[in-house]
């Protein structure tokens, strides 16, 4: 089971706060078989890598090479900072299918694991053909909300599993052990969580709760 914790650009997940969450993950990792991965902002990757053993995926990479690309995120740079994988095409950082394919290819060449995020079954199908490590289905209208995708739209997870040749993750509104259990029952191999951990008073308890039913 994979638990991906996306810090987005929340204040509680920025800079020193990101390091604290990474340290919490490192501690919990010793008590679980689940693989917990942190997705911090690019500016925090190196610090987390220097101070913890928590696996780090970038939130985004751009399908560009070394050169004149002001403001873009270079795949080589996140790798050198310590990331071992990356999200691609998160709902909050969309790419075209062509760019997704290119970003996935660039990442694979660098030996970075890839999770292509999608927001419907059709895109899941197309994304899975690009052979990423995972496809993550996240209905945008449920992201950051109180109702888990596993309750609000279980069919989108089942259909994604059916239509994908790549293992499926799911996310949006996931915050309890029940949500994670249901995701696995529906055929997902793990979940992506942001607000259910980062926006809580006690991220350690929130992560333990997520892992409590598996
Ligand atoms: O990448 C995970 C994310 O989009 C889900 O957000 O806040 O609904 O857990 P949230």
* Terminal-to-terminal C-alpha distance of the chain: 9
pLDDT at 133: 98
CA of 123 to the centre of ligand 1 (A): 18
Catalytic hit among 50, 90, 92, 162: 90
Give yes or no: 138 in active site.
Answer: yes
Name the DSSP letter for residue 142: G
**Atom number of ligand 1 nearest to Cα 91:** 4
Q: Where are the domains of the chain?
A: 2-63+71-211
Give yes or no: 90 in active site.
Answer: yes
The helix/strand/coil state of 128 is helix
d(CA 105, CA 122): 20
CA of 66 to the centre of ligand 1 (A): 31
User: Helices in the chain by DSSP H: which ranges?
Assistant: 16-29, 42-51, 75-81, 97-109, 121-128, 149-152, 154-162, 177-185, 195-198, 203-210
CA of 8 to the centre of ligand 1 (A): 8
Could you please state the CATH topology (level 3) that the domain comprising 2-63+71-211 is classified under: TIM Barrel (3.20.20)
pLDDT at 49: 98
Instruction: Supply angle C-alpha 52, 74, 36, rounded to 5.
Output: 30
ipTM over 0.95: yes
195 labeled binding residue = yes
pLDDT at 106: 98
How does pLDDT run along the chain (214 residues), one tens digit per residue? 999 999 999 999 999 999 999 999 999 999 999 999 999 999 999 999 999 999 999 999 999 999 999 999 999 999 999 999 999 999 999 999 999 999 999 999 999 999 999 999 999 999 999 999 999 999 999 999 999 999 999 999 999 999 999 999 999 999 999 999 999 999 999 999 999 999 999 999 999 999 999 9
Name the DSSP letter for residue 200: S
pLDDT at 130: 98
pLDDT at 186: 98
**Atom number of ligand 1 nearest to Cα 192:** 2
Catalytic hit among 60, 138, 158, 204: 138
Taken as a whole, the chain contains a residue count of 214
d(CA 65, CA 76): 8
12 labeled binding residue = no
In the structure, which protein residues have their CB atom closer than 6 angstroms to any atom of ligand 1? 6, 90, 138, 143-144, 171-174, 192-196
111 within 8 A of 83, measured Cβ to Cβ:
no
Name the DSSP letter for residue 11: G
The protein residue whose alpha carbon is closest to atom 5 in ligand 1 is 172
- Which pTM value belongs to this model? 0.98
Candidates 83, 80, 74, 78; CA nearest to 54 is: 83
Q: Which of 137, 172, 183, 198 to mutate to test the pocket of ligand 1 (most atoms within 8 A of CB)?
A: 172
Name the DSSP letter for residue 63: S
CA distances to 148, 195, 201 from 188, in Å: 14, 20, 28
CA distances to 53, 84, 123, 138, 214 from 189, in Å: 22, 19, 18, 14, 12
């Amino acid at each position: 089971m994979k638990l991906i914790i996306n810090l987005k650009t929340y204040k509680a997940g920025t800079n020193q706060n990101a390091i604290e969450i990474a340290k919490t993950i490192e501690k919990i990792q010793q008590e679980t078989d689940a693989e917990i991965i942190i997705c911090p902002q690019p500016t925090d990757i190196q610090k987390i890598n220097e101070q913890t053993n928590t696996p780090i995926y970038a939130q985004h990479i751009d399908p560009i090479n070394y050169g004149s690309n002001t403001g873009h995120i270079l795949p080589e740079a996140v790798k050198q900072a310590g990331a071992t994988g990356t999200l691609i095409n998160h709902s909050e950082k969309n790419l075209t299918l062509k760019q997704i394919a290119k970003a996935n290819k660039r990442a694979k060449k660098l030996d970075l694991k890839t999770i292509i995020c999608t927001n419907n079954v059709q895109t899941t199908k197309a994304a899975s053909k690009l052979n990423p490590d995972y496809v993550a289905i996240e209905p945008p209208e449920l992201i950051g909300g109180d109702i888990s995708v596993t309750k609000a739209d279980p069919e989108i997870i089942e259909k994604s599993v059916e239509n994908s040749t790549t293992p499926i993750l799911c996310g949006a509104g996931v915050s309890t052990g029940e949500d994670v259990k249901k995701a696995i029952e529906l055929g997902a191999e793990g979940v992506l969580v942001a607000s259910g951990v980062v926006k809580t008073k006690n991220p350690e308890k929130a992560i333990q709760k997520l892992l409590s039913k598996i």
